[in-house]
C-alpha cells in the first residue's frame, strides 16, 4: 500500500518520475520485509535498526527516511497483515451467507492457506506485536476488533436467517472472541513455537470441527 509515502497524484507522471516512485515503493517493501523476517527470527527487541538496514542493504538513515521509527516499522507491518488477513480470511464469512459453511471456509482458509503461505505474518500477529507499546497494542486491537466484527456479523446473520437466538446479549461477541482465540492458540502452539507444518491440515480440520460444533450446539442444530 505504501501508506507512509502516499502522494496525491492527480496528474500524469513522467516516465522517470514513475520509475522513481516504483523504486521508492520497492525500497519501502524491501525494508519492511527485512524487518519482518528479523522480528520473527530474533524478536522485536533483539532486532536493531542496524540489522534491518544491513539485511535490506540500505543505510540506517534510509530506514528512517521511510519509517518514523522502529515502532512505526512494526505498526506498518501489522497494518499490512491486518489488511491481508481480513481480505483473505475475514472475507470468507461474508461469502457463504447464513450457513455454517462460512466458518468452515474461513477456518480452512486460515489454517491451510494463510498459515502455510505467511507463517512469518502469523508470528508477527500472534507473538511479536504483543505487549510492545501502547501504540502497537492499539493497532493490534484494531485488527482484532475488526476480525471479531467479521465473525459476529456472520453469527448474527445466521441467527436471523435460521430463526434462533443466543443465550445472552454478549454471546455473539464472546463466541467471536473465542474463535479468534482458537485460531491464535492453534497457530501459536503448532506453527509459531514448534514450526510443525506437517499435520496442520488435520489439525485445522479438527479445530474447525470443534469451533463449529460449539456454534451448532448453541443454536440447536
Partner DNA sequence: TATGAATGAGAGTTCATTCAT
Partner DNA sequence: CATGAATGAACTCTCATTCAT
Show Cβ contacts of residue 15 under 8 Å, excluding neighbours closer than 6 positions. none
Work out which of 2, 59, 117, 185 binds DNA, going by CB under 7 A: 59
Task: Output the smallest distance, CB 24 to DNA, in A.
Answer: 5
Look up residue 168 and give its three cell numbers.
Answer: 445472552
Q: Which stretch binds its own copies (CB under 8 A): 19-27, 53-61, 93-101, 123-131?
A: 123-131
Residue 155 binding its own copies, by CB under 8 A: no
Round to whole Å and give the CA distance between 86 and 213: 23
Residue 168 binding its own copies, by CB under 8 A: yes
Task: Output the smallest distance, CB 173 to DNA, in A.
Answer: 35
| CB count in 10 Å sphere of residue 203 | 19
SS (H, E, C) 168-214: CCCHHHHHHHHHHHHHHHHHHHHHHCCCCCCCHHHHHHHHHHHHHHH
Work out which of 55, 64, 108, 153 binds DNA, going by CB under 7 A: 64
| CB count in 10 Å sphere of residue 100 | 18
Task: Output the smallest distance, CB 199 to its own copies, in A.
Answer: 6
**Could you identify the residue written with the cell 437466538?**
165
Closest CA to 201 of 141, 111, 109: 111
Residue 217 binding its own copies, by CB under 8 A: yes
Residue 24 binding DNA, by CB under 7 A: yes
Task: Output the smallest distance, CB 142 to its own copies, in A.
Answer: 12
Question: Around 195, how many Cα atoms within 13 Å sit in the side-chain half-sphere?
Answer: 3
Q: Which stretch binds its own copies (CB under 8 A): 4-12, 28-36, 53-61, 179-187?
A: 179-187
Closest CA to 63 of 80, 51, 79, 75: 51
Residue 48 binding DNA, by CB under 7 A: yes
Residues in the chain: 221
Alpha carbon of residue 96 to chain centroid: 21
- Per CB under 7 A, contacts with DNA among 153-192 are none
Look up residue 128 and give its three cell numbers.
Answer: 511479536
Residue 62 binding partner per list its own copies, DNA, none, with a CB distance cut-off of 5 to 8 Å that depends on partner kind: DNA
Round to whole Å and give the CA distance between 159 and 163: 6
Residue 196 binding its own copies, by CB under 8 A: no
Q: Name the residues that contact its own copies, by CB under 8 A.
A: 43-45, 127-128, 130-133, 137, 141, 144, 148, 167-168, 170-171, 174-175, 177-178, 180-186, 189-190, 193, 199, 202-203, 205-207, 209-218
Q: Name the residues that contact DNA, by CB under 7 A.
A: 16, 20, 23-24, 27, 45-50, 58-62, 64-66, 69-71
Amino acid at each position: 500500500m505504501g501508506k507512509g509515502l502516499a502522494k496525491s497524484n492527480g496528474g500524469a507522471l513522467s516516465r522517470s518520475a514513475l520509475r522513481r516512485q516504483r523504486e521508492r515503493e520497492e525500497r519501502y517493501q524491501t525494508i519492511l520485509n527485512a524487518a519482518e523476517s528479523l522480528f520473527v527470527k530474533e524478536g522485536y527487541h533483539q532486532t536493531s535498526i542496524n540489522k534491518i538496514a544491513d539485511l535490506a542493504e540500505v543505510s540506517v538513515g534510509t530506514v528512517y527516511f521511510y519509517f518514523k521509527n522502529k515502532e512505526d516499522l512494526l505498526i506498518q507491518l501489522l497494518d499490512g497483515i491486518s489488511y491481508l488477513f481480513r481480505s483473505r480470511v475475514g472475507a470468507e464469512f461474508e461469502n457463504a451467507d447464513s450457513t455454517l459453511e462460512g466458518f468452515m471456509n474461513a477456518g480452512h482458509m486460515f489454517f491451510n492457506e494463510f498459515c502455510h503461505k505467511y507463517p512469518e505474518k502469523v508470528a508477527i500477529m500472534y507473538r511479536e506485536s504483543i505487549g510492545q507499546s501502547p501504540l502497537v497494542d492499539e493497532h493490534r486491537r484494531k485488527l482484532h476488533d475488526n476480525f471479531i466484527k467479521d465473525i459476529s456479523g456472520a453469527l448474527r446473520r445466521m441467527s436471523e436467517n435460521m430463526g434462533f437466538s443466543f443465550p445472552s446479549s454478549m454471546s455473539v461477541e464472546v463466541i467471536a472472541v473465542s474463535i479468534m482465540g482458537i485460531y491464535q492458540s492453534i497457530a501459536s502452539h503448532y506453527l509459531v513455537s514448534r514450526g510443525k507444518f506437517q499435520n496442520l491440515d488435520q489439525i485445522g480440520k479438527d479445530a474447525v470441527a470443534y469451533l463449529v460444533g460449539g456454534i451448532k450446539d448453541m443454536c440447536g442444530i
